């Protein structure tokens, strides 16, 4: 995109450009300083290499495929937290136009985006829901972790997004999934149904500063507050439709506390969901915050994960693993 061609700009030039495009950018910058202090400079300049994962549903020998890529001259670096994930340091390669992409051998996906399915940890023979699944990056990874066994229900409410979801499931050789289209909040009508639920909600996307910096031109505080209401409703439905003792993973690619900790705080207090600590070897994370703008939140939110772009060469993510009480 055009913004990416401005890599030679100084931080001050970037800030001036964002501020000229979005009158509320300086408000966003002040909020990030409350989270990170002077480290916000590193966040604003963060960049993430292209990343992909090898799909073991179709590739029996991932190391052999990796060797073939390197033989072609691809400069690959293994992503520390996912054994089949790689960063690509080769700007001449268009992953989306490779034969391996069309055959479903690889899936182009940000490195941090691979984390929520790992936290979900779906098992073969389980019944799993991906509530907001399109276009299918996490859904295909979940099917891979399930070894194409059990049942994976992939849902999305937006009609225009379903063809991409169906295509990616088929392309990647997923056989244990069905596709549904409905508002995710309606899953509250079928309580105690799924062993595990991933609710990767629509969000303001400010964590994409490292891959799509232009997204900061669209941020509005009003948008974050509007999305937070929807996110609370979706997470509530996910908790209700999960079986007692089951796992719900909540994830966003935004850095905004209203869409992250404040949403999870709601289901901890209202539905008594328990936060389960998570550790992903090789991934640098920070604990969730327990105070925001003079509001004190549940102390267990320290066990949720904040993933910052400048620490992991990825997009920014927030992830919470919740267990439903019996």
Judge contact between 145 and 164, C-beta under 8 A. Answer: no
**Which of 191, 157, 208 shows the shortest CA–CA distance to 317?**
208
**Among 226, 209, 225, which residue's Cα sits nearest to residue 217?**
209
- CB environment 71-85: b (16+ within 10 A), e (fewer): eeebeeeebebbebb
Please give the Cα distance from 70 to 75 (Å, whole number): 6
Is residue 253 annotated as a catalytic residue, yes or no?
yes
DSSP code per residue over 159-188 = GGGHHHHHHHHHHTT--SEEEE-S-GGGGG
**Angle at alpha carbon of residue 107, lines to 132 and 112, rounded to 5°:** 65
Task: Please give the Cα distance from 310 to 316 (Å, whole number).
Answer: 9
Beta bridge partners of 196: 128, 247
Enter the tokens of residue 155. Answer: 């849902």
Catalytic residues: 253
């Amino acid at each position: 995109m055009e913004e990416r061609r401005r890599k030679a700009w100084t931080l001050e030039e970037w800030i001036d450009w964002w501020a000229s495009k979005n009158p509320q950018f300086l408000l966003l910058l002040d909020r990030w300083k409350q989270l990170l202090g002077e480290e916000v400079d590193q966040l604003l300049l963060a960049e993430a290499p292209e990343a992909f994962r090898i799909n073991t549903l179709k590739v029996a020998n991932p190391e052999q495929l990796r060797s073939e890529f390197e033989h072609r001259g691809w400069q690959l670096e293994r992503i520390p937290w996912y054994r089949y994930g790689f960063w690509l340091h080769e700007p001449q390669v268009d992953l989306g136009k490779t034969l391996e992409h069309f055959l479903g051998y690889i899936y182009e996906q940000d490195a941090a985006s691979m984390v929520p399915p790992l936290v979900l940890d779906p098992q073969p023979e389980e019944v799993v829901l991906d509530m907001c699944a399109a276009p299918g990056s996490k859904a295909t990874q979940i099917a891979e972790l399930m070894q194409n066994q059990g049942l994976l229900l992939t849902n999305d409410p937006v009609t225009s997004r379903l063809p991409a979801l169906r295509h990616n499931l088929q392309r990647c050789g997923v056989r244990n999934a069905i596709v549904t289209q409905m508002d995710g909040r309606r899953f509250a009508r079928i309580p105690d149904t799924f062993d595990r639920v991933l609710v990767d909600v629509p969000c303001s996307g400010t964590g994409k500063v490292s891959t799509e910096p232009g997204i900061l031109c669209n941020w509005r505080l009003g948008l974050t507050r509007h999305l937070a209401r929807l996110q609370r409703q979706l997470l509530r439905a996910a908790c209700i439709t999960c079986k007692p003792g089951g796992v719900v993973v909540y994830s966003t690619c935004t850095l905004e506390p209203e869409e992250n900790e404040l949403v999870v705080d709601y289901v901890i207090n209202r539905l008594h969901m328990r936060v389960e600590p998570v550790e992903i070897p090789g991934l640098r994370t920070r604990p969730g915050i327990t105070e925001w703008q003079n509001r004190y939140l549940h102390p267990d939110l320290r066990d949720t994960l904040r993933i910052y772009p400048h620490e992991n060469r990825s997009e920014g993510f927030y992830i919470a693993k919740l267990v439903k009480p019996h």
